[in-house]
Amino acid sequence: MSSPDELRTSSFYPVIDRLVNEMTRRFSTEAGAVLMGTSALNPKNTTFLEKESLEPMAQLYEIKRTICWPRCTKCDGSQKEKRTW
């Protein structure tokens, strides 16, 4: 290996490609929705109670929007304050 470009193309890119493929295989769309939804329930997270993060998980578990969204004042996006918890 004589140059950094050769090292990248012969070693790094194949390893990264295999890692990405393995992560895609292991974590389904449903698992990703649950992970994003549960992280949005953490008050310290920047996506705390964001509708875009919670809705896929709610759909997966068939939670009705009329039950959870009206109770959440942050889900309509009108009260987007900075959290410093």
For 19-70, give the DSSP string.
Answer: HHHHHHHHS-HHHHHHHHHHHTT-TTSTTTT-HHHHHHHHHHTT--HHHHTT
Res 42: pLDDT:
92
The answer to whether residue 73 sits within a structural domain is no
Domain count, the chain: 1
Res 19: pLDDT:
93
Rounded Cα–Cα distance for residues 44 and 47 (Å): 9
The answer to whether residue 41 sits within a structural domain is yes
Query: Which phi and psi angles does 57 have, rounded to 5°?
Result: -70, -40
pTM to 2 decimal places: 0.51
Res 5: pLDDT:
78
Res 68: pLDDT:
59
Q: Please give the residue range of the domain that contains residue 47.
A: 4-68
Q: Which residues of the chain fall below pLDDT 50?
A: 79-85
